[in-house]
Structure 1
Amino acid sequence: MPKTYSGSCHCGLIKFEVSADIDHLRECNCSICIRRGALNFRVPEENLTVLTPLENAVLYQWGSETAEDYFCPKCGILPFRKSSQLTKAEIEAGKAPFTGWAVNARCLSGLNISEIPIVKIDGASL
């Protein structure tokens, strides 16, 4: 059963709500995620309500420039992102595209991340 969580960056400039049944978190080892240290979970686009206009966030795109990483311009925290488009190899392997949001679980109030299983994602090999 999905639960609604309130979330924000560290300083509170970027605020959002997300409705999710968080059964696992994703830890990616790509060059940016390994530095960022976020633990993400995915939700359909309609399950994230951004309460602060996205124009208040800073958009960062790297590599293929198909992902959208939204950062707070004041405290630098990344509360959510749009995932990259699939690579040719992923499409050929039959992987289904994901068009929703990846939310940083570390930005949610009232979530005990130590109780949620972590799935390792090998983004470094993509």
Structure 2
Amino acid sequence: MAEVHEGSCHCGAVTYAVETSLDGLIECNCSYCYRKGFVLAFAPKAAFTLKSGEDQLGEYRFNRHNIAHMFCKTCGVQPFGFGTGPDGSETAAVNVRTLTDIEPWSWTAERVDGRNF
């Protein structure tokens, strides 16, 4: 069931809210996600609200440049990114580890082989 969750970078300069479910989380082993330790939840971009810190955001793209990985210019934490879902819809990918309203490890993630995708 989708709920509104709050999140932020480490220093608090970037804050956001997203309506998403914590079911269906993924932990990817691609060269980027694995090194960063991301656990991802996905939501329609329209369900994502940047609450503060737009001017503090930087963007990183790699490989096919399909995903805009957003990071805080102050602390370097990457709380979310934006891309296009398999159905062509605009999607927000949220790093569950940056959600401030849930208990650490209160979730379960499926491992996805992004390295060989």
TM-score, normalisation: structure 1:
0.83
Task: Please provide the CA RMSD for this pair.
Answer: 1.8
> How many correspondences in the alignment?
117
- The structure with the largest helix share of the pair is 1
Percentage of pairs with the same residue:
29
Moved over 3 A (4+): 95-98
1:12–1:52 Cα change, 3 Å? same
Unaligned 5+ segments in structure 2 are none
| 2:7 maps to 1:7 | yes
Counterpart in 1 of 2:28? 28
TM-score, normalisation: structure 2:
0.88
Counterpart-to-counterpart distance in 2, 1:113 and 1:82: 24
Counterpart-to-counterpart distance in 2, 1:99 and 1:120: 23
8 A Cα contact 2:82 2:93, kept in partner: yes
Give the counterpart letter for 1:59 in structure 2. E
1:2–1:8 Cα change, 3 Å? same
- The structure with the largest strand share of the pair is 2
Unaligned 5+ segments in structure 1 are 87-94
Counterpart-to-counterpart distance in 1, 2:87 and 2:109: 21
- Residue 52 of structure 1: how far off its partner (Å): 2.2
Structure having the higher Rg: 1
Counterpart-to-counterpart distance in 1, 2:64 and 2:55: 22
- Residue 98 of structure 1: how far off its partner (Å): 4.8
Give the counterpart letter for 1:23 in structure 2. D
Give the counterpart letter for 2:99 in structure 1. L
- Match for 1:107 among 98, 102, 110? 98
